[in-house]
Structure 1
């Protein structure tokens, strides 16, 4: 019976030993805490991907009108602006990742989850009602600052679930929610943008929606994140060892509300008294080792400067470098007006231009529909593959799929039949979705396993999130610039064949140098056993 672990091969149990039951989603410990944390994780994908389906049309509507003729020069201008707008979010994340990590080590994990979530709600509302490029850029920066705490969430996951056999699914949960949030954000952005035009039977004639055509999807985002905020305040428990057991007004309020609800549903319900609740909270994570602290971070900085960590961080960073650029470039590619010259035999060699000419609702549905295949893969296929082949081999396989997807993408424009063109774009999109679905959770597990000690998990994930955010800022900005240059010379495939493919190939080379280690908690227990012996 295969065990879901972080190693490619699990040790054989001794003869006569009782086999443990297989790890399932329902067997995960502390499920309520993981689910609340997962709800909070929705903030980044909803805030970051909701605008992608209508990004082309948003920038064109906020522009001075030069982008309405569909020319190559105007399309290149939109591509540049789109790259900067997408990069602003990740740049703010990069600038604040280590700040959030240090605040979490000092004041606790929960405050660094709750307060940024509130700011994210406000940032979504502000972005939706923005009417100029500077205003929407400002709210993108605020949203990025509020979502710079992803490393804290990963650290919290490691502190909640420590047993090695559960980590495969526990560390898969946040990427799974991230992927789900991407799908929901793309669908919301595609369906609810310009609602008076896309859904006239429901929203036709509503004046404020005509004035603010892109406000509705961000308002729905704000409602969802407000619900996550309520869950976090009333149900999320602190995991920083120094803060466990301290009074939490939010938890007390949440327990009172739950007690009232249960009393209304079932007479005779007897809630735990305050002493029992406090005891439950104190022993919520009895096996946890002391978490990362500022003193630990300062006393062992040299331990992070190893070749294994450097290579792992490089692979962890290169993934969002090209994937974030793809997430910005592909919707623009789908929205740019189609160029009939490509199929009238006027295009030759590598020089052809244009896009697929889809509207925002089609773009959103296209991207979200194929993202659903990633959800299925993460939930049901990935754990089995990870247990059989190991995390590193899956990561390497996924990286090898990216270049093929990027090389083929521009050639779909040369297909004359719309059905064949649609099937081709579905194929290249499917390749990219499968690759990123396998690569994202694998990268998080590999980074966690590279930590030399549980005390440095927070620091390492903070550094990883900082570098990842920088990659997600530079990637789209540089990709938008290369795409604009390609359009100016009549080569829409320039950014796909040079920039995206080049970064993806570099990622393949780095992945071959990476190593798959044990979890830091497992490594620490092994060292303690050797010292005892």
Structure 2
């Protein structure tokens, strides 16, 4: 699923950028007075609708029905002993992040993530097992402080990542009105003034950068630093990705595209690495496997709320920035939220009895990584019978 999602983020912008306003970009094929001149964005929408229809037809004719009631072999006796689970609502990040069920082992990446837990045994001096205390027999508390703090971190990440996805194409296309008269770092009027075709190309290359970072960089970096240090590193770096974008308006034309690629690389590095490690940490923080459904639901709800409010707030700030002559206002607003996320990470306690190992999809990366240790660690605590 993550791989297909990334491919979609590459193909989608390419279709939109190539076929938008076809009477202007492809005048030899489309009349300047035809229907596509009257409705300049009709063609890419028709292409997307056709692709959706093809997807529906493929699903109808080639996917196998899995519902027990719809099987030809089903009998009443068999159905009486059959249960069906409704999939959990997916936990999702920004546009570039596919939805994730915390019960899966990929966490929105192409890789397999193994979480190992160090166990603790309580023994009496004679070697017999000590019965669990009355307190430990109760069901564990689901929404612990650590779970809530990680969900808050996920919400903050989702918000500012979603604003980036929303603001980037607007800023790339917005006309630049500085006219070379720049009086201060806060004098940014408009964006880069690029064409729709160029914006589509940039967004497609952005998808390629994200694909490379997710498939190659993430497993190497996570294996090198570990999940916790990776989370701290990218969370602290994240505000940089927002504060630098508006100053692309000051870059000379001959250096504009390399600067755009640099900005997108920084953003994808921080975003692509932050999303899966947040999900890994959230699963590690879950008190028990049986609580994953509720934890997943809370994370999905928080993410959905942040995805809902991010675009209108970012758009409002961009509009205000346009009026006051500083379109960087929206970017700075997102950067401030990212700074809040960097400060908030210090309220999250590291899980020390669990370790996560990322196994990359690409075989040549697996060969370059150290061999995974499958040892199981057990801490044995011997206590007297009279100890509480």
Smaller-chain TM-score range? 0.5 to 0.7
Task: Tell me: CA distance 1:427–1:290, structure 2 relative to 1, closer, same or farther (3 Å).
Answer: closer
Residue 324 of structure 1: how far off its partner (Å): 0.8
Conserved in 1, the CA contact under 8 Å of 2:21 and 2:40?
Answer: yes
1:189 aligns with 2:16: yes
2:63 aligns to what?
235
Conserved in 2, the CA contact under 8 Å of 1:322 and 1:504?
Answer: yes
Match of 1:400 among 236, 243, 250: 236
Task: Tell me: CA distance 1:466–1:195, structure 2 relative to 1, closer, same or farther (3 Å).
Answer: farther
1:490 aligns to what?
325
Match of 1:433 among 268, 288, 296: 268
2:161 aligns to what?
323
Match of 2:227 among 388, 391, 405: 391
**Matched pairs, number:** 301
Conserved in 1, the CA contact under 8 Å of 2:143 and 2:295?
Answer: no
Residue 181 of structure 1: how far off its partner (Å): 2.3
Q: For each residue in 1:204-256, what CA deviation from the matched residue of structure 2 results, as whole angstroms up to 9, or x when unmatched?
A: 46833334322332333334344444555543675xxxx7xx2445xx7xxxx
Match of 1:308 among 146, 152, 166: 146
Q: For each residue in 1:172-215, what CA deviation from the matched residue of structure 2 results, as whole angstroms up to 9, or x when unmatched?
A: xx3x4433322222222211222222223344468333343223
The normalised TM-score by structure 1 is 0.50
Conserved in 2, the CA contact under 8 Å of 1:179 and 1:375?
Answer: yes
Q: For each residue in 1:19-67, what CA deviation from the matched residue of structure 2 results, as whole angstroms up to 9, or x when unmatched?
A: xxxxxxxxxxxxxxxxxxx2xxxxxxxxxxxxxxxxxxxxxxxxxxxxx
**Higher relative helix content:** 1
The normalised TM-score by structure 2 is 0.67
Conserved in 2, the CA contact under 8 Å of 1:183 and 1:368?
Answer: yes
Conserved in 1, the CA contact under 8 Å of 2:175 and 2:190?
Answer: yes
1:476 aligns with 2:311: yes
CA distance in 1: counterparts of 2:324 and 2:33, whole angstroms? 43
1:414 aligns with 2:250: yes
CA distance in 2: counterparts of 1:473 and 1:412, whole angstroms? 28
1:200 aligns with 2:35: no
1:354 aligns with 2:190: yes
Residue 526 of structure 1: how far off its partner (Å): 11
CA distance in 2: counterparts of 1:202 and 1:459, whole angstroms? 54
1:334 aligns with 2:169: no
Conserved in 1, the CA contact under 8 Å of 2:24 and 2:32?
Answer: no
2:365 aligns to what?
none
Match of 1:443 among 275, 278, 302: 278
1:161 aligns to what?
none
Conserved in 2, the CA contact under 8 Å of 1:401 and 1:432?
Answer: no
CA distance in 2: counterparts of 1:374 and 1:387, whole angstroms? 19
Task: Tell me: CA distance 1:308–1:368, structure 2 relative to 1, closer, same or farther (3 Å).
Answer: same
What is the correspondence of 1:277-288 to structure 2 with a 5 Å cutoff? none
Conserved in 2, the CA contact under 8 Å of 1:371 and 1:433?
Answer: no
Aligned alpha-carbon RMSD (Å): 3.6
SS where residue 201 of structure 1 aligns?
coil
SS where residue 352 of structure 1 aligns?
coil
Conserved in 2, the CA contact under 8 Å of 1:337 and 1:356?
Answer: yes
1:462 aligns to what?
297
Residue 340 of structure 1: how far off its partner (Å): 4.1
Conserved in 2, the CA contact under 8 Å of 1:316 and 1:447?
Answer: no
Q: Structure 1: which 5+ residue stretches go unaligned?
A: 1-37, 39-173, 253-273, 284-288, 293-299
Match of 1:508 among 342, 349, 374: 342
CA distance in 2: counterparts of 1:453 and 1:427, whole angstroms? 42
Bigger CA radius of gyration = 2
Q: For each residue in 1:135-178, what CA deviation from the matched residue of structure 2 results, as whole angstroms up to 9, or x when unmatched?
A: xxxxxxxxxxxxxxxxxxxxxxxxxxxxxxxxxxxxxxx3x443
Q: Structure 2: which 5+ residue stretches go unaligned?
A: 89-137, 357-375, 382-388
Q: For each residue in 1:360-411, what CA deviation from the matched residue of structure 2 results, as whole angstroms up to 9, or x when unmatched?
A: 1111111211320210121223223323332232232222232112112222
Match of 1:379 among 198, 201, 215: 215
Task: Tell me: CA distance 1:373–1:207, structure 2 relative to 1, closer, same or farther (3 Å).
Answer: same
Match of 1:452 among 270, 287, 305: 287
Conserved in 1, the CA contact under 8 Å of 2:13 and 2:204?
Answer: yes
Residue 420 of structure 1: how far off its partner (Å): 2.2
Conserved in 2, the CA contact under 8 Å of 1:338 and 1:356?
Answer: yes
CA distance in 2: counterparts of 1:247 and 1:235, whole angstroms? 16
